[in-house]
Amino acid sequence: MKKIILTLCFALCSIALFGQFNVGIKAGLNLSSLKVGGSNSLISYEVGPGFDAGVFLRIGKKLYVQPEVLYSLKTTTPDFEDIQDEIIENDEDKQKFQTLDIPILVGYKIYDGDDIKFRGFLGPRFGFALRNSLGANIDGVWADVKSGTFDFAGQVGVGVDLWRFTVDLMYDYTFTNGYRATIDEVEMKTHFSTFKFCVGFKILK
């Protein structure tokens, strides 16, 4: 394992020294919803707005690797369909998920012009929970709700570079649970589905 890590570090350093190397900042908006498995007849979720902000490192020319470190806020609101007699919906039902995200994206410049570049990219994303708020009704009705502390996701998207600016449109899907609970002896699992629009600026080019 140590040899593999050292080899990867050496490879990244070599690319950084002899290849194209960009450092930048980025921020953007996201629209998220929770996909429910199990007892999905009880609860559906409305799409909620959030945002992402952080830094990125791009290594390479036509083919590149782009690790990022981002603060991410995702929100969604549950719609309690079949249990209205038990629950009164209120403004405190909005659920907020705050994570430190580390995507590692591999991209390819489909068109590499002097003034404008078009890219496609994909890769994994690793998320570490900072603070999760599941909402008053979720916490109050189901005491055994467990919120995830780590999530693993996949991202795919397209981007445009214009001078030092970057614009990305991407789709992010988490393969691990946002939270899980047992409702009427049926285990409920949730997965985020998120669209993101981000604008970046290359500080070092």
Amino acid making up residue 97:
F
Q: Which residue has the higher pLDDT, 21 or 67?
A: 67
Q: Which of 4-8, 28-32, 87-91, 184-188 has the highest mean pLDDT?
A: 28-32
pLDDT band with cut points at 50, 70 and 90 for residue 94: confident
Q: Which domains does the chain have, with CATH numbers?
A: 21-204 (2.40.160.20)
Residue 196, pLDDT score: 97
Residue with tokens 């189901």: 142
189: Cβ contacts below 8 Å, ≥ 6 apart: 36, 37, 38, 177, 180
pLDDT in tens, 13-62: 555 554 678 999 999 999 998 877 665 455 677 789 999 999 999 999 89
pLDDT in tens, 189-204: 778 899 999 999 999 8
User: Which residue intervals of the chain are DSSP H helices?
Assistant: 2-18, 136-141
pLDDT in tens, 128-171: 988 766 655 555 555 456 666 888 999 999 999 999 999 999 99
Q: Which residue has the higher pLDDT, 65 or 34?
A: 65
- For the record, the structure tokens of 101 come out as 């995200």
Provide the mean pLDDT of the chain.
Answer: 80
pLDDT band with cut points at 50, 70 and 90 for residue 114: confident
Q: State how far the Cα of 147 lies from the Cα of 179, in Å rounded to an integer.
A: 4
Residue 137, pLDDT score: 53
**72 φ/ψ angles, rounded to the nearest 5 degrees:** -130, 135
Residue 3, pLDDT score: 56
Q: What is the mean pLDDT of residues 59-77?
A: 92
